[in-house]
Amino acid sequence: MQRCKRIKELRAAIRVKRHAGQHIVLVPTMGNLHDGHISLVRKAREISDFVVVSIFVNPLQFGENEDLDNYPRTLEEDQAKLQREGASVLFLPDANEMYPDGQQDLTRVSVPKFNAMLCGVSRPVHFDGVTTVVNKLFNIVQPDSAVFGEKDFQQLFLIRKMVKDLSLPVEVVGAPIMREKDGLAMSSRNNYLSDSERNIAPALSRVLQETKERCAGKGKDLELLRQAELQANTVLKEIGFDIDYVQIRDADTLLAPALETKQLVLLAAATLGSTRLIDNMTFSAD
Ligand code: PAF
């Protein structure tokens, strides 16, 4: 596995493969790789032999009071895992390489409306930071495909919309959520949970699963969906979560469900102590 810290170096490594007709797949990450990330790399390897993985803790997507400085950084372990999984190139830029003129007056990519709902309400700068860095990574790597996890459902939605709106020549591939044995969606932020919080955390997926079972196939009953959201909210609060939102949306539009909705998504964000967890489940409306 080749390691590149500079954009120039990375482009040179990719150019050779592109000229040889190789399909280029990108897996953008912020490091601290767990089995969820590894599943993205495996999905990428199913698409092509030439897989570029980036590790960059993107300052642009962290708000002022968020965990940028404490975000777990485990480069040695990450490299060993990527080597084992057969990644071809690891791109490891620093902030100066990505944002040489600083962040203040940076050109940004913004997906309006959808960046301000759900997680965007409590994290107002987050999604513009994500779409800006992903767009930049697409420009640097020029991948044919890029793989993202479905755990960040809203992020994946925004990236797909950005790609469509800007006619970017990248196929965006989603990879299913990876869960611990007790159902907790894998996340680097799970490391922040205390032992007692870790015991409570799987209740998030359990309540989502129960809510999904209650609503699956009943998507035309908009009142039932609303009641189910409220009940999930109450139950999670009683268990000890500080709820950001629990909402059922049309999975294709991310808007409120309507009678013509085909696929629904139940999304939740909730905090335990100081750890913010997100999860989602999709199901058919009919
Ligand atoms: O999902 C993530 O890890 C990040 O938001 C991403 C897509 C790598 C952009 O920094």
C-alpha atoms less than 13 angstroms from C-alpha of 39 in its C-beta half-sphere? 16
CA torsion sign, 94 to 81 to 192 to 237? positive
At residue 236 the predicted structure's pLDDT band, cuts being 50, 70 and 90, is very high
| Burial environment of residue 260 by CB neighbours within 10 A (0 to 12, 13 to 18, 19 or more) | exposed
Q: Which of 151, 175, 199 represents a domain boundary (last residue)?
A: 175
Q: Does the active-site annotation cover 37?
A: yes
Mean pLDDT of 58-63: 97
Task: Please indicate, yes or no, if residue 52 is contained in any of the structural domains.
Answer: yes
Per-residue pLDDT for 282 more than 90?
yes
Q: What is the pLDDT of residue 65?
A: 87
Alpha carbon nearest to ligand 1 atom 1, residue: 29
Per-residue pLDDT for 248 more than 90?
yes
Q: Are residues 147 and 55 in the same domain?
A: yes
Mean pLDDT of 178-185: 98
The predicted-structure confidence for 93-113, as pLDDT tens digits, reads as follows 999 999 999 999 999 999 999
Per-residue pLDDT for 123 more than 90?
yes
Q: Are 92 and 3 in contact (CB under 8 A)?
A: yes
* Domain that includes residue 126, residue range: 2-175
- Residue 260 carries which side chain, given as an amino acid letter? E
Beta bridge partners of 54: 28, 91
CA torsion sign, 132 to 137 to 140 to 146? negative
Q: Which of 32, 127, 134 maximizes ligand 1 atoms within 8 Å of its Cβ, making it the mutation to test the pocket? A: 134
Q: Are residues 66 and 169 in the same domain?
A: yes
| Identified catalytic residue from 19, 34, 37, 126 | 37
**CATH number of residue 94's parent domain:** 3.40.50.620
Q: Which of 268, 221, 277 is nearest to 246 (CA)?
A: 268
Q: Which of 133, 154, 175 represents a domain boundary (last residue)?
A: 175
Mean pLDDT of 8-22: 97
**CATH number of residue 192's parent domain:** 3.30.1300.10
At residue 278 the predicted structure's pLDDT band, cuts being 50, 70 and 90, is very high
| Pocket residues: Cβ below 6 A from ligand 1 | 28-30, 58, 61, 130, 133-134, 152, 155
Task: Please indicate, yes or no, if residue 251 is contained in any of the structural domains.
Answer: yes
Q: In degrees rounded to 5, what are phi and psi of residue 70? A: -95, 0
Q: Are 180 and 202 in contact (CB under 8 A)?
A: yes
Per-residue pLDDT for 218 more than 90?
yes
Q: Which of 175, 198, 229 represents a domain boundary (last residue)?
A: 175
How many domains is the chain built from?
2
Task: Please indicate, yes or no, if residue 97 is contained in any of the structural domains.
Answer: yes
pTM of model > 0.95: yes
Q: Are residues 76 and 165 in the same domain?
A: yes
Mean pLDDT of 29-38: 97
Mean pLDDT of 206-230: 97
Per-residue pLDDT for 37 more than 90?
yes
Give residue 78's Cα distance to chain centre.
18
